[in-house]
Amino acid sequence: MSRNNSFSTMQRNDSFDLTLAHHDHVVCVVGVGYVGEHLLRSFGTCYQSIGFDISVQRLAQLQPVFGHMPNVTLTNDESYLDRATAYLISVPTLLKADNTVDLSHLISALAMVLKHVQPGNTIVIESSVQVGTTRQILGPYQNILHCGMSPERVDPGRTFPTAQQIPKIISALTPASNSIIHKLYARVFEQVVPVSKPEVAEMTKLFENCYRMVNIAYVNEMSDAARAHGIDPNEMIDAAATKPYGYQAFRPGLGVGGHCIPVNPFYLFSNNPNLPVLKRATKLMRNRPAALAKKLHRRCAARAACPTGPRILVVGIGFKPGQSVLSYSPGLAFATELQRLGCSRLVFHDPLVEQAQVPWLEKLDHAGFHPGRLDLEFDAVAVCTRQHGVDFTVLDKLRHCRVKTFDTA
């Protein structure tokens, strides 16, 4: 008999003695994408844990990762949720075509969890959401469940500090729930930072990422200005970084990518209309890859030997170094604009990105990435991401092919 029967007999706003905490939680991570994988890895070292995902393919990918962890069970069988006492929801919150926030995955995941919870269980939203979302969707259950929000801080490719060493913000709808959630997370993370309410946690996550958006847009603008004066932007940045206070170094690049920084501003715009600085920065960063592609195409077309257009090799189309993910990838946006403008040949080189991920774009393999071939076959090489596994010394040996580097990180 499913546990949801006991929960469904209670009204959502009935009171329940929430001082009765689970001392030995079974944690269920709902959604084991990139963020969920890290959550499961962390909680699986301290608790019996379940990783639930609807994607059989994703679970198969993770089986070798978690096969050696006896505390972890991977499943797409919803009945396993009956075993849990704490549910961490880490499903995608994406943007719709009109740039409004799509909460459908979160709403669906919550509806599923609510069929399996018991009074006194814990539900924490880890997904990025608009300010007010946690209270809106979990508020009706705050008297019978421990409901909270803990924004993820996973940084793809980062190995230090470890996930457990990164301070973890937690929040809850009631003081009692805050205490319970604090205890749940304190066994996993070295520093747990409780805040007064979920709205603070939600806003903090968006503030952190939009801070990066604004500063990257600013450093790109200043770097472009520095080049106009014959100044190396990185020398300028390094010199400024010697100031021991009031400054943090950012590096110029083609743009921002991934599931967080490019989309988080729109979570704020949904209920904060008066954010002109952030809106301007977001627009600049969205348009930058296409604008730089136009500039490179125009210059290459003027000197290209081929009348049908320039021959351009795009190096690095993963959204950042060390990553094969193409979500909001500046390099992919750059290549897409070049294709629209027209090239006699357009090729990409990225050891981490498979040809099947970009079927419309020819891939140059490692064997073809050598000076003789590049000089012979291309008018320009555009470095969009300093991708791991690329031998960039090859580009120093080119004699005829022009090299344009957009990512200096």
CATH 3.40.50.2000 fits 4-196, yes or no: no
Which two three-digit tokens encode residue 330? 């500046």
Task: Compute how many other C-beta atoms are within 10 angstroms of the C-beta atom of residue 66.
Answer: 20
The yes/no answer on whether domain 287-405 falls in CATH 3.40.50.720 is yes
What number of CA atoms fall less than 13 Å from residue 27's CA on the CB side? 27
Residue type, 168: K
pLDDT of residue 6: 42
- The answer to whether 285 and 213 have CB atoms below 8 angstroms apart is yes
Task: Note the pLDDT of residue 154.
Answer: 85
Dist CA 1 CA 305 (whole Å)? 74
Q: Is the bond preceding residue 140 a cis peptide, omega within 30 degrees?
A: no
Q: Residues 40, 43, 49, 52: is their CA dihedral positive or negative? A: negative
Decide if pLDDT at 381 tops 70.
Answer: yes
> What residues pair up with 383 in beta bridges, in sequence order?
315, 405
Residue 303 confidence class, pLDDT cut points 50, 70, 90: confident
Written as six digits, the tokens of 233 are 């932007």
User: What are 177-216's pLDDT values in tens digits?
Assistant: 999 999 999 999 999 999 999 999 999 999 999 999 999 9
Q: Comparing 4-196 with 287-405, is the CATH topology the same?
A: yes
Q: How many CA atoms lie within 13 A of 392 on its CB side?
A: 15
Inform me whether the pLDDT recorded for 147 exceeds 50: yes
Cα gap 181→136, rounded to integer Å: 19
pLDDT tens for 253-272 read 999 999 899 999 999 999 99
Q: What is the fold, at CATH topology level, of the domain defined by 205-269?
A: N-(1-d-carboxylethyl)-l-norvaline Dehydrogenase; domain 2 (1.10.1040)
Whole-angstrom distance, CA of residue 397 vs CA of residue 374: 10
Q: Do the beta carbons of residue 245 and residue 258 sit within 8 Å? A: no
Nearest to 151 by CA among 262, 53, 264: 264
Give the pLDDT confidence of 50-105 residue by residue, as tens digits: 999 999 999 999 999 999 999 999 999 999 999 999 999 999 999 999 999 999 99
Q: pTM of the entire structure? A: 0.90
> So where are the chain's domains?
4-196, 205-269, 287-405
Contact of 110 with 89, CB cutoff 8 Å: yes
Phi, psi (5° rounding) for residue 168? -110, 115
